[in-house]
Amino acid sequence: MAERKLIHGGHYEEIKALGQGTWGVVILAKQVQTGREVALKTIKSARAEEGINFTAIREIKLLREFKHENIIELVDVFTTADMAVCLVYEVAETDLEKILKNRSISISLADTKQHLLTLLRAISACHSRWILHRDLKPDNCLFLKDGTMKLADFGLARMYGTPKTRLSPQAITLWYKPPELLLGASEYSSAADVWSTGCIFAELLLRRPFLQGNQTDISQLDTIFQVFGTPNDTNWPDHGVLPLCTRGLTWDSSPPIPFDEIFTAAPSDALSLLRSMLVLDPNKRFTADQCLSHPYFLNEPRPTPKEKLVLSSD
């Protein structure tokens, strides 16, 4: 048998590649001292001459203190000889994107409620510590073998201050971007994460991404405004000060499409919550805590217990 590669001075032993991410390969490894399996994600500095991003490391160290049932555990962080940062995570079995794409897995209304509940709990925990995720999408919602949902890739976008152009290969992320960011708002608020979560909720109900713009911010805005109507002084009084509007970009006025015409199979309590999350004006959007207090979570069906969630078709 071929010898396994040792990593970080023999602390970890490589098992196999798990997948390719935007920042580099993710590998399954064994923590030699404990025998625990972990996922190692190596993040190279944007430019070699910039060296290690120490701000990122400080923030990552902070995240290590952040223990929550629905946030992926950062087990360790170390730097490699070639100035890359290696993040060591607990190992997930699958993610929500894979579940959504696997047509042989059915997602019931009770499953949807469980997914949204755990996602909102994770986001509420982040927001109560003034941490914004900024990149919520189904592939960042990981699941452990026991069905526990774990929010991942959390804070990375912020830590690395990724310019928009460098994120462009991530066209899919665009579909979860709130209108204030698309209009050029330079400051994010927690409402941005709530919009993305609303998009994920809608996707669970529709079983396809809800707002599928075509690669550009303008196309994404068009897609959003076709559904929610164009912004005006009533539905979003402050929109005019955002950069794209001050530069003179305008849209022909159009009305919103009622949600019950789009989500024909969804119960009314689900749509009531969805309407409170997907609001053009970020100031009028529910907070994660307000979402968690919505009657939707008390009504039948009860959320599927995590151990009863179907994660794969085999």
Q: Which residues are catalytic?
A: 135
Kindly tell me which residue out of 89, 160, 201, 236 binds ligand AMP, with binding defined by CB under 6 A.
89
CB of 15 to ligand AMP, least distance (A): 11
Cβ 57 to ligand AMP, closest distance in Å? 18
With CB under 6 A as the contact rule, which of the stretches 84-92, 101-109, 126-134, 201-209 interacts with ligand AMP? 84-92
Residue position matching structure tokens 């073998």: 145
Provide, rounded to whole angstroms, the least separation between the CB of residue 224 and ligand AMP. Answer: 25
Sign of the CA dihedral with 111 first, then 113, 116, and 120 last: negative
- Residue 92 interacts with ligand AMP (CB under 6 A): yes or no: yes
Q: Which of 71, 91, 119, 273 binds ligand AMP (CB under 6 A)?
A: 91
Residue placing its CB nearer to ligand AMP in the complex, 89 or 160: 89
Closest CA to 85 of 140, 46, 136, 28: 46
* Contacts of ligand AMP in 13-32 (CB under 6 A): 18-23, 26
Minimum CB distance to ligand AMP, residue 95 (Å): 7
Tokens 């409170």 correspond to what residue?
Answer: 276
Shortest approach of ligand AMP to residue 122 CB, angstroms? Answer: 14
Closest to ligand AMP by CB, 153 or 217: 153
For residues 86 and 41, is the Cβ–Cβ distance under 8 A? yes
What is the C-alpha to C-alpha distance for residues 294 and 303, in angstroms, rounded to an integer? 14
**Phi, psi for 278 (deg, rounded to 5):** -95, 75
Residue 94 identity (one-letter amino acid) = T
Q: Please give the residue whose beta carbon sits closest to ligand AMP in the complex.
A: 21
Min separation Cβ 129 and ligand AMP, Å:
21
Identified binder of ligand AMP from the candidate list 7, 12, 29, 39, rule CB under 6 A? 39
43 Cβ contact partners less than 8 Å away, ≥ 6 residues apart:
23, 24, 56, 84, 85, 86, 87, 156, 160
Token pair recorded at residue 280: 């053009």
Is 23 labelled a binding residue? yes
Give the CA angle between residues 211, 112, 150 to the nearest 5°: 90
Question: Which DSSP state fits 71?
Answer: B
Q: Does position 12 bind ligand AMP by CB under 6 A?
A: no
Tokens of 302: 């009860």
First-residue to last-residue Cα distance in the chain: 28
x-or-dash string of contact with ligand AMP, 117-156, rule CB under 6 A: -------------------------x---------xx---
Q: How many residues bind ligand AMP (CB under 6 A)?
A: 16
Strands 12-20 and 25-31: antiparallel
Tokens of 95: 């993610």
**Residue 184 touches ligand AMP, criterion: CB under 6 A:** no
Nearer to ligand AMP, 20 or 106 (CB): 20
Residue 38, strand partner residues: 29, 90
Beta carbons of 165 and 46 less than 8 angstroms apart: no
As annotated, the binding site includes: 18-26, 41
As annotated, the binding site for ATP includes: 18-26, 41
Residues forming contacts to ligand AMP in the complex (CB under 6 A) are 18-23, 26, 39, 41, 72, 89, 91-92, 142, 152-153
